[in-house]
Structure formats: structure tokens, C-alpha cells
Chain A
Amino acid sequence: MTNFLQEVLTRLGYVFLEYQGNAEFRLLSPAPRWLSEVWIIPGAEGSIILVAEKSPFLADFLDKADVLLSSDDNATCQSEPWVERSPSGKEIPLQALALHVNGKRYLALQSPETQFKERAQLLQTARESLLEHEKLLREIQKKEILLHCIIHDLSQPLSVMSVTLDCLAEEPVSKKARRLLDLGKHASDQQMSMIRDILQVFSSDLKASIDAEKGADFTANLLQAARKVIDAFTPVFLAKTVSLRVDARADPSANWLVRGESTRLERIFSNLLENALRYAPSGTGVTIGLSREGEFLKAVVDDEGPGLPADLSPSQIFSLFSKGKETGGKAGLGLYFCQLTVERWGGAIGCESRAGGGSRFWFRLPVASQGEKTPAGGDAPREAATHDTMSIGKGPMRILLADDQEEIRILTTHQLERRGHHVVTVANGQKALEALQREAFDVILLDEQMPVMTGLETLKAIRKQEKKHGHAVVIALTGYNTDPDRERLLKAGFDGVIGKPFRMKALELMLRGAADTTQANLSAPEEEAAAPAPGSVADLLERVGGDERLLRKMARTFLRDTPKRLAEIQKAIRAKRGEKLAFFAHALKGPVGIFGAEEAHQHCQDLQEHGRKLEFSEALRIYDALKEEIAELESNLRGYAGQKGSPRSGATRSGKRRVLTSKRKSR
């Protein structure tokens, strides 16, 4: 090779070898340092090298190159980059070029270090990003599971509270008690709303569902939503002597349809009204105003309070976890939810201090034409959203209720029977199927999570039998009260879905197939006052709607089932069966919660957590404490259940107020 060509190739980083036969190659130029390092060869020009012995990669490459080049005398064949480790441990990237020129075979080698590093860096960055993304997705999934567990646990006692309040609403009570009851119901609704807000804000599934809605042509009536929320809020505003009204200039005959979904639209109004009430002084008023602004409809909520807080900008007010320093909100989720929802529907939201005092919160949403469709059920409550698929008569119905929580079964049965329905209850899906073999039902209510056979499994079995018996109306009761969960259950074949906790009226509405929401908002009729509950058991009686017979029944149920549940918990701890421990602790938690046994409830909660995390070291100690609490509770309940045994004497261990403590101490 001429000196000139040799110099050029060396500068380009190549070293050339010529095939000599017998697997030998001859160096056509002095070996560069990287080649001497990796192969430890005499680097002088003309040296003979057994390339295939030095590098398994090259042996493989040359075999393949021979095949490719044999058909073309002047062709070239390039390898992928590969890395060889020198005896000193240094990694050296290499790339090879095989070529035939004028009947001779050559091998060119180079160490493309710079390009190799750049490529490695690029891939490294891309893959690290992918790994981060995967990690983030896993974290989100974990969070979702945790969130659903928390929501489920929050919903269970709330469900009982809600049904209990419905029971009370049907009792003859004084006007004063009725007002208090309205407040209690409102607080219960607020709590439900709060749970939904938490789900809405933190659940990625729900965010995705809102995203999906963004492009959908759902509509809701702005004026109707405002009026409905005003009806619901009036008692609370009255209690604080704050007036609440819709601006009279809002013409009912105009088009008030906006892009959005009615339930969430009502929640936006609810959150804004709650916010206004928090700051409105007694004797002032809060007004909802509606108007058209071009292609948008605008809603304003005006109060006569102190105006916007000086410590927060309008954008901060709507941010996550934002709370005013003075009066403060709850968790700082409500307004964030409003912003999230309004913006996803293509609207805007804001707030300002009013010139005459007070503050104004406003939002605007794109106008929808009259022809655009409303989601299933239109403005009906969510629970009633699907019952247009049902055809049920107006008379008493035969209802099958399957729920593993006996207390839910008792309270719901109590309510439904008072409305004249015939109710059969079972504790799991298997038993529901057996009941269906024995008799026919107009409606089947299935709890989603049950032992032995879940609600979904039961539904599948029922649907299979429909070919013989015709369509059965099956409604899901679920603690996972989110839109995606509803969609999932409806997709699975349920005719309707009621999230727990549910309002009795919503259930009744669904049972009747009545989509008219105005019925749902009628307040219970005023009736004469009933005799107050006995003082020493007032607390407990309040929990069951003042029905002593029901109380006795529940106490008997509790006394019957609890030893079994305790034994199962103990067994699960000893066998280190986390899933069983969590299951039985959960099963006991609901009933002790109903009876207000706070410490026992906490112990159950702790055991459930330990079960989930497969931690058993502390479980026996918690179990012993739980057993002690349960013993006290059982002792007190025996008196009401008409069983032998009296409340134990002596001070409580914790000193905290417990169920029936006043009765125990008075003895």
C-alpha cells in the first residue's frame, strides 16, 4: 500500500488485513494501539494474525461474509458494532468491513469509539426513560389499588349510616328533629361527595374517563342542575340563615344545555355553594346567576362574604390542596375538582372579589345544541342512570338481596319490607343461585364482593340460565363507586349499578324504574313527633333508626356471628394466612362499627392491614386486645338481645367513650 493511502486510512481509524489462506490475515499497515491492546499482537506491518482465533465474533462474521461475497467479486459486507474486552479489562468497541477487490479478500477493522459512545448514550437515555415510565405506571397501579381499598373501607360504615338515616327519615319526628335530620343527611351526602372527589382527583382511571368524555357529545342542563343543587342545599343555608336563590333573570324557556355530564355539573355547583356558605356571614345571601356569553353559558355564584383571601391568588385557589388560611376548607379538593372537570369539558373557571363586597366564583361551558344527546339517564341521578333498561311494575316486588354483610342485609330488608316489598336475603352468590332455583324474583340485588361466589360470577350464572327463564333484572351493589367501575359492571351485564353507600330513595327509584329526579328530591312528609328513644340506649337506637326490635335482631346476629369470626381471625394468624386474616377482620369491622365500638373497630382495621401486608408478628397482640374489647361489647349487647349475662362492671381500659358505656357505668 502506498504511504499516502496508508496515512489516509490510519487517520480514518482503519486498519487493513489481507487474507493469506489457511485462516491467516496479514497486516497491511502497523496495528493501531486499540488493536494491539485487544488482541496482544505484534503490531508491525506484515504481521500474520489468526483472526478467527482472536475473535469469535469475527470468525462468525467472516463465515457469513464469505457466503455473501462469494457471488460478487467487488462487494463489501459490514458488521454490527461489537465489544471485546482486552486482557486488562478495557472494553473496546469494534466494527469490521469485509471486501473482495480484484479477486483478493480483505478485512478492514476500526474502533468507532465516538459514534459508539453517542449511540450508547442515546439508547441509554431512551431506555432509562422507558424504565422510569414503567416504574411510574407501577406506582400508579399500586396507588389505585390502595385508593380503592381505602374508599371501600370508608364506604362501608357510611353505607350503614346512610341507610340508618333513611330509616329515621321515615319515622314520625318533630319539625326540629326533621331539620336536624336534614342536616345529618346533608353531612352524610357531603361525606359521599368528598369520597367521590377524592376518587375523581386521584384516580387515573377517572381522569381517563373524563378525558374520554371531553370529545363526547354529552349534554347537561345548567339551569336544572343549579335548581336541583339549590333544593338540596336550602336546609343547610337556612340553618345558617343565609338565603340561596337562582337569579330570576334566568329564563327557563331558553336553551341551558352545555357540554358536560349532569352529575358532575351538580357537584361543581355543590362545591361552589359549599365554598360560598363557608364564607357567607349570617343574614346575607348567595345567588346563582346564569347567562349566555357567545358560544358559552356562564354560571356565577356570588356571596356577600369578605371577598377572596389576600394570601392566595385566583389560580392558587383552584390548585390541589389549596385552603384559605382563615376559615379554610376541608381538604382543598373541591375547587380543584371543579377546575379539572370544567377544563376537561372545554370550559374555563375563575374567581374574583366583587366591587360591592363578597366574592364571585364563575365557570363557563360550551353551549350544546338541543339535538345533542345526553348520557344514559340524562339528568337522572347516577344510580338511576341505567334503569331505562328495566321494566318493573309499580306494585310490591319480590326482591332477592345477596350481601355478605349481615348488617346491610338487615337494614336494607327492614327498609324494603316497610315499603311493602317481599325480600329474601342470602350471604353469597351461591346461595343466591339456590334461592333462584326455589322461587322467582322481580329484582336481584348482588353485592360485588362476596365470599364463595362473587357478584360477577353469580351474574354470569344467572345470565346463562336466562335462556330458559327469560331476562332477570340484576342490580350490582358495589363499594367501588367510580364511573369506570360502573361502566365495568354495566359492561359485565348488570342492568343497574348502585354504589355503596346508597340512599334508600335511589334504590327505590331504581327499583321502580322511575327516571324522574324530582321525585328523588321530595322531602319526607312532616309528621308528628314520636316519643324520644330511651336515654341509656339512645346512641345505639339512633344507629338503627330507633327500632328496638331491629336493634335486638342486630344484637342477636352480632352475638351469634362474632365468636365464629374471632375464631377465624385467630386461626388465620396462627396459620399465617394474610388473605384470610384480612377477610375476617374486614367482616368483623363492619358490625363493630355499627355498634360504635371504636377501639374494636380500630383493631379490626389494624388486623386487616397486617393481613394485607402479611405481617403477623404484632397480629396476635392486636387480636388479644380486640377480643377484650369484643367481650365488653358482647356483655353489653346480651341484655338487649334478651340473652343471659349482664354488662361487666369496672372502668374501661382506655377511658374512651364506648358503645353503651353510660348504661354499663350506671349499673
Chain B
Amino acid sequence: MLQKKICMLGAFAVGKTSLVRRFVESIYSDVYQTTVGVKIDKKIAQTDDREVALVLWDLYGEDDFQKTRWSYLKGASGYLLVADGTRRATLDKAISLAQRAREEVGPLPFIFVMNKCDLAPDWDLEPDWEARLAALNWTTLRSSAKSGEGVEEAFLQLTRKILAGS
């Protein structure tokens, strides 16, 4: 079976681990548990006509305490870039991480997800954030690890994008 390595990138506490757990185990917990190091998970994804074994590398969120180790991204087929709609600064962080990833490992397929859409009324974003990302030519989705909205779609869309490029 085809196997693809996918990394989760984003600022801390944007919900990367929660998205993985929702996708892999259909589980969600409201309790924030910070990720130390890397968490590895596997999931067989069924895209249009084939099965792909996804190896999900849930990297810790970058902040002042832990800097992203770009070597983890080497060998990855793509990445899911995550931001938290309730924290404006996480979008800026996502933009800088994408730029850095390109510098470190070259162009890789990725999908951007604005997570926590169950809290959309509390989102703290500029009204034109989607237009800003569209101008960067990003594929953007809204997701909620809590409700499950957009989660599977995000991973499958990324898988299709990876397969289309391979």
C-alpha cells in the first residue's frame, strides 16, 4: 500500500493534535494537552480510487519554548497548516511557518485549515483574511476538531493534492 508522511504545522494550541485524534480515532477532548516532541499516528485513508497509509507526524507547536525542527519535515509528502480562528496571531504564525518550510525543504503540497470554526462567533480575524490567503494561492478550509466539521475533508484533500503531484 502506498504510504505518505504528513506533518502537522502551526502555532501552539491551535488544535493540531485534536485534528489528528478526530481524524484517526473520532475522539475529541476539550482539555488542552500540550505536545512535547513528536506524536506519530497512522491512518488508512480512502481517496477516490485507492487506499493510502498516512503516517501523521504531529509536531509540537512553535513558540518561544520550542522551535520547529525542520528536519522532521524532510521526507514528508505534504503538511497540514493549522491556525486558530480565535487567535489572530496564529494566522501570522502560519504564514511565516509556510514560508520557512518552503525555504527549508522546498515546495511541498499543503492545505491550510482555520480551526475552531465551532467558535466562529468569537473569531478574532480581519474580515479579509480569506482574501489575503487566496492572494497567496493557498487552499483554505475551515475545520472544527470538536464538531468534526471539515476535518476528514482537510486530510483527504491534502492526500489528493499529494497524489496529484506525485
Contact surface of A with B, Cβ cutoff 8 Å: 55-57, 60, 64, 80-85, 89, 91, 93, 116, 119-120, 123-124, 126-128, 130-131, 134, 138
Contacts and interface: CB of A to CB of B under 8 A. Distances in A.
Nearest to A83: B39
**Looking at chain A's contact residues, is the secondary structure mostly helix, strand, loop, or mixed?**
helix
Contacts of A64: 71
A128 B32 contact: yes
Nearest 3 A/B pairs, CB to CB:
A81-B37, A82-B38, A83-B39
Contacts of B75: 60
A123 B65 contact: yes
Contacts of B35: 83
Given A64-B71, A127-B63, A120 B39 contact: no
Given A64-B71, A123-B66, A128-B32, A56 B40 contact: yes
A82 B34 contact: no
B5 interface: yes
A169 B89 CA distance: 53
Interface of B: 5, 12-13, 25, 32-42, 55, 57, 63, 65-66, 69, 71-72, 74-75, 87, 89, 124
A81 B41 CA distance: 15
Contacts of B66: 123
Contact of B36 (A84, A85, A120, A134): A120
A123 B40 contact: no
B38 A57 contact: yes
B164 to A, nearest CB: 23
B56 to A, nearest CB: 10
Contacts of A131: 13, 32
Contacts of A134: 87, 89
Most buried by A among B33, B40, B63, B89: B40
Contact of B40 (A57, A116, A128): A57
Contacts, number: 64
B36 A127 contact: no
B41 A85 contact: yes
B34 A123 contact: yes
A123 B13 contact: no
A186 to B, nearest CB: 43
A55 B40 contact: yes
B153 to A, nearest CB: 24
A126 B63 CA distance: 10
A93 to B, nearest CB: 7
Nearest to A89: B25
17 contacts: A56-B55, A56-B57, A57-B38, A60-B75, A64-B71, A82-B39, A84-B40, A85-B39, A89-B25, A116-B36, A120-B33, A120-B36, A123-B34, A123-B65, A123-B66, A127-B65, A131-B13
Contacts of B41: 85
Contacts of B5: 56
A130 B93 CA distance: 15
Contacts of A126: 65
A81 B5 CA distance: 19
A134 B12 CA distance: 13
A91 B39 contact: yes
A67 to B, nearest CB: 11
B124 A123 contact: no
B55 to A, nearest CB: 5
A82 to B, nearest CB: 4
B60 to A, nearest CB: 8
Contacts of A116: 36-37
Given A60-B75, A127-B63, A83 B37 contact: yes
A175 B124 CA distance: 58
A89 B57 CA distance: 17
Most buried by A among B5, B37, B38, B39: B37
Given A56-B57, A131-B32, 11 more contacts: A82-B38, A82-B39, A82-B40, A84-B40, A120-B33, A120-B36, A124-B33, A127-B12, A127-B32, A130-B12, A130-B63
Contacts of A123: 34, 36, 65-66
A121 to B, nearest CB: 9
A190 B33 CA distance: 52
Most buried by B among A55, A127, A131: A127
Contacts of B34: 120, 123-124, 127
